[in-house]
Chain A
Amino acid sequence: MNKAKVYPWYFAIGAVLVYTVLNVVPGILGLGYSFTDWSAYSKELHFVGFKNFIDVFSGKGNYLTYILNTLLFTFVTTVAKTGLGLLLALALSKGIKGMNFHRGVMYMPSVLPVLVTGLTFTSILNPKIGFLNTFLRGIGLDFLAQKWLVDSKLAFWSVMAVDIWRGTGYIMTMLIVGILAIPNVYYEAVAVDGASAWQKFRYITLPMLRQTLAVTIVLNVIYGLKVFDMVYALTNGGPGHRTEVMYTAVYKMMSKGLYAAGTTISTLLFVFMLIVGYFMVKILTKDEVVE
């Protein structure tokens, strides 16, 4: 059987073409444009060398803060979602009543539009009339009623907390699938030796979950670095630029006509992801490749 004839190359052309033109080409163009002074205010385009990148790393225009905020967001949400997800997965993987109910409920936030979740929480976290503060005052915990999204010290943590609320159920579900895939014989074998629950977790569950954990971490990191909807809906980067992340900053620069700056920030992420992304994809597709 002639494979080239039976599986013609042009079957793949549609997907590859659309993907290349609208995904890869902008990325590569962006790399080029980040060495120019591209803006809405001038028709001419000048080559400026590494100036844009130097501006970013010398702390000009707060760009560095946005990058650091993005990294902080990514780190905190990844750790929290993985940790909480694992804890819940362990509790919900076997032998408790209403398991399917709990799983179904906790997964729900990850199918809702992120934007809508964000908007909903702006009302819940509203300092004066929001549900959270009304509730806290109602049970006499007035001192806990904070200006969640308004206080400049607290705002970013509130944003991260809402995102953790949204994303933990998804991670939990992946880990549950992973835990259930561990053959029971392993646990039976060590039970004979009188292993404690902690030992079972440490020496069987955790090592066997390595691949699943790696995938969830990769997915969380990808999501975190690209976060936009959640921040845009909750604070739009404010108060000041306290909660500004890379993609919300790029959107603002774009609206102000600062194309070169916007493209430079995007390019930094693009290049970083090209380097790290290969390994991430290897983790995501691990078995597929061996198959």
Chain B
Amino acid sequence: MNIYKFEMKRLLGSILTWSITIAVMLLFLMKGFYPAMMESREAVEKIFANFPPEMLIAFGMDVERMFSYEGFLSFSNIYIGLLSAMMAVSIALQIFAREKRDKCTDFLFTRPVTRSQVFVAKFLAGITCLLTFAVLYGATVFWDFNAQNATPLYENSLMYYILSPFLTMLVFFVFATLYALFSKRVRTIAGTATAFAFGAFVLSGLVDLLEKDFLKYVAPLDYFQTGYVLEHGHFDSSLVLTAAVVCVLGSAVSFWWYHSHDVQVA
């Protein structure tokens, strides 16, 4: 419990800064750009009327969807998802590379608690951080959704948009935990987090470009892609399954490593 409390105290500032940054980013997009987007609806509709319908379907261009609140939210999620991934990596590194960076692993591991207890306390602290974000983000989206008098496209579909960044975070949290445990040293947290996010972004872009269906499993930034929700009203279940496997397996490996691996003591 002490470890949990200590981590939470250390992370409080970080969670708040990140959550507020992401929420402000969302509001900036929804308040500033969504109305501007809506203004061009009629003009786009006119052009679409001249397009052959088959082509519109092939390109997934549907006015109804494109100009819905969720359509714009889905578009915003490209940025929100990127920032969420960065936040998750940053939090996981702060938690799991803390002793490595400060060279005080021996201090922590000579306390009268088992390594399993330390791991669980740290892991739960991380999950609490992500949940805090999820609640703040969900409230922001929900509030704005109501304030703009938008209507959902599918039943409960707004829920998926609220959950998407949080679930993406879980995946990246696990990845970064593995990285923190396996790497020899973590130089800077901000630097590693940016590198992670950019790497994932380029990977997603590449998968998108190559247009091979089986490649979608290697792009973690898109495991909970909202573009799919926009079309089908729910997440891509094969990707959800992949994410679940990655999370469970990754956590298990981290736990085992943390539990049984020899530590470097400076």
Do A and B interact with each other, yes or no? no
**Chain B residues proximal to chain A, CB less than 8 Å:** none
**Chain A residues proximal to chain B, CB less than 8 Å:** none
